[in-house]
Structure formats: structure tokens, C-alpha cells
Amino acid sequence: MTLMDMFRLDGKVAIVTGASSGLGVAFAEGCAQAGADVVLAARRIEKLGETAELVTSAGTRALTVQTDVTDPEQCRVMVDRAMAEFGRVDVLVNNAGVGTAVPATRETPEEFRAVVDINLHGSYWAAQACAGVMTPGSAIVNISSILGLTTAGLPQAAYSASKAAIVGLTRDLAQQWGSRKGIRVNAIAPGFFKSEMTDQYQPGYLESLTGRFILPRMGDPAELAATLVWLASPAAGYVTGQTIAVDGGVTIT
């Protein structure tokens, strides 16, 4: 195997949650371009067809599964469908997530719980379901956020708390499943990339943050997908329990 071969995912099967839009599409397409067959999971099944076309156009196979990751049983069904279709699960990309920008004095219990239920609980249930069938050498990549590491001027208590919790979840699952199961668990903390979430920001908000961007631009989703492929591939075979910030330097300013 050459050095560049180590970055390939040929013959592997990746599950990407939240694959119906935004960064989930980039993650699914990146896995396919690296050679993996991809299971696409999301609540909006009608949107998954578009992502599936991107996967198959890269030359690999796609399976769409309507999944609400807040429901442990639906996560198990997602994995069962993957095993029935492909016979294995090698990579989980825990991307499904939501965010709100509600002042802490006005956020309702229902609003707070909904964010934590998808972002944190959903990542846990999906990881738990996949770990039951994964073999040594498999990888889980949780999607955190730089808002789990720093602040950015918006009232996002639920989102920030859930993404900070992903960092702790990543460390614990890495130490539980590393030596016992041979599963690596890492996280990516994206900075500002164009997505449905950034489309909801008020005009001028991103411009107000430019002083914190060491690299003075928003990120390209392909750059984030490249980090994902590295963490999922044999090239990162000795990396586990880590949270990698891909943020243009925001977290060090």
C-alpha cells in the first residue's frame, strides 16, 4: 500500500447521518469519491435521492434510509439495512444536527431539549448501533463545532453545550472501544462553512467575525470532507480520541 493509498476507502461502507443537505452532502460525496459505498440517513427521505445521485456518479453504491437519530430503534434499523445491503459498516459519520439562536432567558425547555436530543443523544444512539457490527479498523467521526470550543457572539447555549458534549463523548467512546473493539473515534469541529445554518445568520454577522479569521475566508465544504476522509481512512490509523478544528484559525484568536 502506497502512502496515497492509505487515504482511500475502497471496499468500505460508510453511514452518513444528516445526509439530506448541507455538510452531510459534502461528507457523503467525499466518502464516495474516496471509494466507499455510502448509506445515507436523514429524516427527509425525499432529499436523500439528490445525495444518492452524487454518490453513484462517483462510481460507488448508495442506500437511502429514513432515520430519526433521536430514536435508538431507528438507528438500529439503519444499521440493519446497511448490513442487509452491504454486509458491513466500516465508517460512521455522525453529522445529523440542528442549531438555534435563542437568548438563554427566553429559550423553552422544549427548544433546548430538541437540540440536545438530536446533536448529542442522536450521535450516541447511532454510534452505539454501529459499534455492535463494526470490526477492528473501523472509524467513527463525530461532527462537533468550534462553538463547542469557543464562542462567536450568538446566543446558542443549547447548540454550544451539545457540541461541547460531543468532544467528551468522543474521548470516552475512543477509550472504551479502542483496545476492546479496535474502533477509532474522533471528532471534527468545523468553523464557518456555507450550510443551511449559516444561511440563517443575520446580514453582517459573518462579516463581524472576520477579525478572528486567520485565513480570511469561509471554509470550502470540500476541505472539511477531506479531513473526514483522512480520519476515516487508514491514513489516520493511529489517531483516536481527538477533536480536529477545521476553522481557518478562529479557535486560536
Phi, psi of 73 (to 5 degrees): -65, -40
Contact 69, 125 (CB under 8 A): yes
Angle at 38 between CA 241 and CA 137, to 5 degrees: 35
Q: What percent of the chain has pLDDT over 90?
A: 82
Look at residue 185 and give its three-state secondary structure. strand
Write the pLDDT tens digit of every residue in 37-65: 999 999 999 999 999 999 999 999 999 99
pLDDT of residue 208: 61
Residue 197 has pLDDT above 70, yes or no: no
pLDDT score for 200: 63
Q: Is the dihedral of CA 126, 128, 132, 135 positive or negative?
A: positive
Structure confidence at residue 71 (pLDDT): 98
Top-confidence residue, 233 or 213: 233
Query: Is a pLDDT exceeding 70 seen at residue 210?
Result: no
Chain segment 144-161, per-residue pLDDT in tens = 999 999 987 788 899 999
> Rounded mean pLDDT of the chain?
93
What 3-state class would DSSP assign to 31? helix
What pTM did the predictor assign? Answer: 0.94
What are the chain's domains? Answer: 4-246 (3.40.50.720)
Instruction: Dihedral sign for Cα 20, 21, 24, 30, please.
Output: positive
The strand pairing partners of 219, in sequence order, are 193
- Residues recognised as catalytic: 159
> Of 18-32, 103-117, 189-203, which range is least confident?
189-203
Cα distances from 110 to residues 21, 114, 122, 201, 203, in angstroms, run: 24, 6, 16, 22, 27
pLDDT (0 to 100) of residue 75: 98
Neighbouring C-beta atoms of residue 251, cutoff 10 Å: 16
